[in-house]
Amino acid sequence: MSGKGNGAGPRFAAARQAAAENRAQGLDIGWTVFGYLIAGMLAYGAIGWLVGRAVHVSLLFPIGMLVGLAISIGFIIYRYGRQGALTRPSPRGNAEGDDR
């Protein structure tokens, strides 16, 4: 087999593996961002509801949800909104080509 042929296999495997890693990372980040949005509303909505129940101001529940959403959006922008911020330290990095 030619040298070119020998190099194409590992290169193709490496590209396929990089694509799979990007896909997994994209899924992780996408659902983490979505999770932050829901969690912000949930956590601060719950805090608002509890405080509102104690002081008899029911409006604190929706206010808490909005505050939580705002905090989540702010944190998402801080964490993921910058150029190059999408490369998180990876515990993987040791997956190589097919070694069946």
Partner 1 sequence: MTRDVPVLASGGCHIFGGCGFPSPGLQSFEFKPLFSIGSFHFTKPMLIAVICALAVIVFFWAAFARPKLVPRGVQNIGEIGILLVRDQILRPSLGKKGDGYLPFLTALFFYIWLMNLMELIPLFQFPAMSRIGFVWPLVFVVYFTYLYLGFKHQGFPGYIKNMIPWDVPKPVLIILIPIELARFFIVQPFTLGVRLFANMFAGHLLLLIFTLATWYLASFTVGLLFAAGSFAMMFFVFGLELLIDLLQAFIFTTLTAVYIASSLEAAH
The backbone region for 38, taken as left when phi is positive above 0, alpha when psi lies in -120 to 50, beta otherwise, is: alpha
Query: What are the CB-based long-range contacts (under 8 Å, 24+) for 24-30?
Result: 25/86, 25/88, 25/90, 29/80, 29/86, 29/88
The backbone region for 84, taken as left when phi is positive above 0, alpha when psi lies in -120 to 50, beta otherwise, is: left
Binding mask 57-96 for partner 1 (x = CB under 8 A): -----------x--xx--x--xx--------xx-xxxxxx
Binding span for partner 1 by CB under 8 A among 4-12, 17-25, 48-56: 17-25
**Minimum distance, C-beta of residue 50 to partner 1, in the bound complex (Å):** 11
Question: Where does this chain bind partner 1 (CB under 8 A)?
Answer: 16-17, 20-21, 23-25, 27-28, 31-32, 34-36, 38-40, 42-44, 46-47, 68, 71-72, 75, 78-79, 88-89, 91-96, 98, 100
